[in-house]
Structure 1
Amino acid sequence: IRALPGGTYRAADVLEGDGVTDADIPVEVAVTVDGAAIDVDFAGTADQVDGNLNAPFSVAKSAVYFVVRAVTDPDIPPNHGCYEPVSISAPEGSLLDPRPPAAVVGGNVETSQRVADVTLAALAAAVPDAVPAGGQGTMNNLIIGDRGGEFTYYETIAGGFGGRPTKDGMDGVQVGMTNTLNTPVEALETAYPLRVERYALRPSSGGDGRHRGGLGIERTLTVEADATVSLLTERRRTAPRGLAGGEDGALGENLIDGEAVPAKASVDVAAGTTVSIRTPGGG
């Protein structure tokens, strides 16, 4: 931490509605580096919301710790001593420190992504050689379940990693605060009434620049039983940001039988319906 230049660095971004309303939800951060200490303050972040994007404060802290380790010493074993110099605050009753009975399931998978995004963006001004451009910034949560309770399928879908200071961003990977793996096509089709029609990288979805952003993914499924499709996604109207003059990554898209579906949606579908998720590219 002492190697970081002192000062206060700020960044802001949004989440694209909470599933109850479509209004943008601001996430703001000020990161102050002072000697061997870092203070991360989320004042200005939105109040808690009616939908499920509220993040317990522990989730916000985890995302910040991830970023601090990534830009200082990613190889140091995680331990209490790593985090002792890092102080984190968020307004009580806000998106990042909600009061019960706030819904929080999306906070872990989506809001944590935006916390990491804004903290990295703030520190990019301090250590540009250690911070990538914006990654896909979402886990592209997809749930498909039949109406009789016979099956429920849940997956997260990879996308583009941001362009790095010395090389291109990685294609088709989970970014930031994630720990999920690829679902093999053979396993999916054996266990569920689902058929994978397409699973491919999205050409030209990474932002152009000296080091381009990683490519997103297109995953298209046919649902072979009457079912409900639920989506909890981001970066459908606010693109992953480029850095140092590089271009933004491509927006993600959700399609059901070729028709656009919002970032957060729950739709009843008939057997034979196709669901396409096109994930964002990196900036």
Structure 2
Amino acid sequence: MQSDEMIRARVVAGAFDTAAEEMSATVTRTARSPIFNEAHDFTTGIFDLHEGKARLIAQAPGCTLHLYAICSAVQAALDVFKNDLHPGDIILASDPGHGGTHIPDHVVIMPVFADRKPVFFPVVRAHFADSGGPVAGGYNPAARDIWQDGVVVPPLKLYEKGERRTDVFDLILANNRVETWLKGDLDAMRGACLTAARGIERVIERFGLADVRASIGHNVAYTERRVRAEIGSWPDGDYHAETFIDHDYQGAHDIRICCTARVRGSDITFDFTGSAPQVDGFVNSTLANTLSFVFVAIASCIDEDVPINEGYINPVRVVAPEGTVVNPRWPKPVGNCTCICGAEIAEVALLALSQCAPQRVGVNCHKLPLAYTSGRYEDGKPWISLNFHGYTGGAGAAYGTDGWGLYPPLMTGVILPSIEMNEMQYPMRIERHEYVTDTEGAGLWRGAPGVGTRIRFLASNITNAMLAGVRHPTRGFCGGNDGPPNALALTSEGVRLDVTEVVYNHRLARDSTIEFLRGGGGGWGAPHERPPASVLADVSNGYVSIAAAEEVYGVAIDERTLTVEQQRTTELRGDRRPAHGQE
């Protein structure tokens, strides 16, 4: 590769990344719903056609678990319209059977033409505030089939040759409880694609289509070399792990997810053979969702400076037997798959990798205590709140670092909405949102502490509450402790209801509350190997109590002086020696 080709490849890569980031900014600044303009629950990317297949060539930071699912959805849409694409077309889809995950995640795709052919495809994948169906917000724990998850939207043209298809547009709006939000969000997604198209056209005009495509090929090959180099550093072998879903909200419990990671040179296969059969409840994972969470797991093990594009995917193969919970047959419900069992898919893949790449794994946590609330403003217009603040917390540890922040890497790019804006947009007050002492998974490096949240509603509403991560909380790695379980409680008119698994269409009166405890992240490495000074700092910061420091970490702390009692600590830790080269 000549130096001028290398420079051009990096300039082209930067131009496409910039176009994807401009798409993201466009959605944020022009969308109507808080889930877009505040929480940023969407992802933008750009694809090209390579040997007749859609290929990811650029992406902006967003909701990480969307990334691979975008690939499947784009390919499915292009399979439908491959001979019927025109400038100005906009394709919309949310069909789990056509490369989708769960129905709330919609994808908008626009072809960009060069030499009179569709060559590039700006794409936005986003979680809509509502998607029709029996339950406001799109999470129906009573669903027994896909149609009870929401309104299925197969790939269709929302715009054709630049003209809005009013009949299709009106049909989509008519099946949504917050159509004003939806209209604004669809316009924002289209505007983002148009913005990217202008950037792409400038790159083609500057370098020419042939050189642009050659540069893209170089960039994809670079990413693939980097990913293969990492995988190739791991010892060949078969590494098996298993984990469990708490329940399916329909009576099934301890649903097994197992994975064998087969490392062969610079290739890796994740084989989910042996996982539980598909279940009645809505925790089944579509194949696209399973692939996406495997991608999240492998991506978290690779250096963060590696560009994310198709080269990430090429070394990875996934085996997900049909008819299992990780690849169900139509029309099983899948509405919760981006939380459960997506969390367990990433978790079990990382547990398998911990046996061959222990210093690369950790940080996973996505077992959310969900509570979706809907009601009406004083003027009668509907509102739907995802109660984002109750889901935050739980970032696990990794080699060399404690868990940090509020969102785990699975939600990288999703932004915690401003409390003040949240209280302006909804009839609610957030009375508590803080770390809770002794709610971390202990370890040589500890998980982030759990978060306690209390939301008070200023108007009556309907809430669906779904609890997970109790029987099987977030796992620790390499000898680290698991995180503690989640908890969720509803209080209305003086009556407290502790949610054990699910509460369906529960009416809350004005002045009612929802209280969340989002369990902390899992630890990495044995707790007794954590340096006493680090434990003391955690005690000083209120993350760990003095009692837990002694009981869990084997570190005795003088309560009066807040200093480590060296002799007592030595006695507590006995003759234990660090196993990971830490002193």
Counterparts of 1:72 and 1:66, CA distance in 2: 10
Q: Which of these residues, 340, 346, 365, is aligned with residue 110 of structure 1?
A: 340
Counterparts of 1:59 and 1:265, CA distance in 2: 26
State percent identity of aligned pairs: 28
Secondary structure in 1 aligned to 2:336?
helix
* 1:261 partnered with 2:493: no
Partner of 2:329: 99
Equivalent runs, 1:155-170 vs 2, <5 Å: 155-156=387-388, 157-170=391-404
Equivalent runs, 1:211-230 vs 2, <5 Å: 211-230=445-464
Partner of 1:138: 367
**C-alpha displacement of 1:179:** 4.8
Aligned residues: CA RMSD: 1.9
Partner of 1:50: 280
**C-alpha displacement of 1:60:** 0.6
**C-alpha displacement of 1:241:** 2.1
Equivalent runs, 1:69-88 vs 2, <5 Å: 69-88=299-318
Counterparts of 1:234 and 1:144, CA distance in 2: 18
Counterparts of 2:407 and 2:302, CA distance in 1: 22
Partner of 1:151: 383
Counterparts of 1:195 and 1:207, CA distance in 2: 30
Partner of 2:139: none
Counterparts of 1:132 and 1:62, CA distance in 2: 17
Q: Which of these residues, 252, 255, 276, is aligned with residue 515 of structure 2?
A: 276
Q: Which of these residues, 236, 241, 252, is aligned with residue 486 of structure 2?
A: 252
TM-score normalized by the length of structure 2: 0.46
CA gap of 1:72–1:6, structure 2 versus 1, over 3 A, is: farther
User: What amino acid does structure 2 have at the position aligned with 1:277?
Assistant: F
Q: Which of these residues, 469, 494, 498, is aligned with residue 235 of structure 1?
A: 469
**C-alpha displacement of 1:262:** 2.3
Secondary structure in 1 aligned to 2:400?
coil
| Runs of 4 or more consecutive aligned structure 1 residues displaced over 6 Å after TM superposition | none
**C-alpha displacement of 1:34:** 0.6
Moved more, 104-113 or 139-148: 139-148
**C-alpha displacement of 1:126:** 0.5
**C-alpha displacement of 1:71:** 1.5
Count of matched residue pairs: 282
Counterparts of 1:225 and 1:177, CA distance in 2: 30
Counterparts of 1:28 and 1:177, CA distance in 2: 23
Partner of 1:63: 293
Moved more, 240-249 or 201-210: 240-249
CA gap of 1:102–1:179, structure 2 versus 1, over 3 A, is: farther
Moved more, 155-164 or 200-209: 155-164
Contact 2:282 2:337 survives alignment (8 Å)? yes
Counterparts of 1:64 and 1:123, CA distance in 2: 11
Secondary structure in 2 aligned to 1:176?
helix
Contact 2:354 2:478 survives alignment (8 Å)? no
User: What amino acid does structure 2 have at the position aligned with 1:152?
Assistant: I
Q: Which has the higher contact order (CA 8 A, sep 6+)?
A: 1
Contact 1:55 1:112 survives alignment (8 Å)? yes
* 1:180 partnered with 2:419: no
CA gap of 1:271–1:196, structure 2 versus 1, over 3 A, is: same
Structure 2 unpaired stretches of 5+: 1-230, 523-583
User: What amino acid does structure 2 have at the position aligned with 1:161?
Assistant: A
Moved more, 184-193 or 117-126: 184-193
Secondary structure in 2 aligned to 1:152?
strand
Moved more, 19-28 or 139-148: 139-148
**C-alpha displacement of 1:183:** 2.0
Moved more, 240-249 or 171-180: 171-180
Contact 1:223 1:272 survives alignment (8 Å)? yes
Secondary structure in 1 aligned to 2:489?
strand
Counterparts of 1:155 and 1:195, CA distance in 2: 11
Moved more, 52-61 or 165-174: 165-174
CA gap of 1:116–1:178, structure 2 versus 1, over 3 A, is: farther
Counterparts of 1:226 and 1:72, CA distance in 2: 47
Moved more, 75-84 or 177-186: 177-186
Structure number with larger C-alpha Rg:
2
Counterparts of 2:442 and 2:242, CA distance in 1: 23
**C-alpha displacement of 1:213:** 1.1
**C-alpha displacement of 1:246:** 2.3
Q: Which of these residues, 319, 327, 330, is aligned with residue 89 of structure 1?
A: 319
User: What amino acid does structure 2 have at the position aligned with 1:11?
Assistant: A
Counterparts of 2:408 and 2:304, CA distance in 1: 17
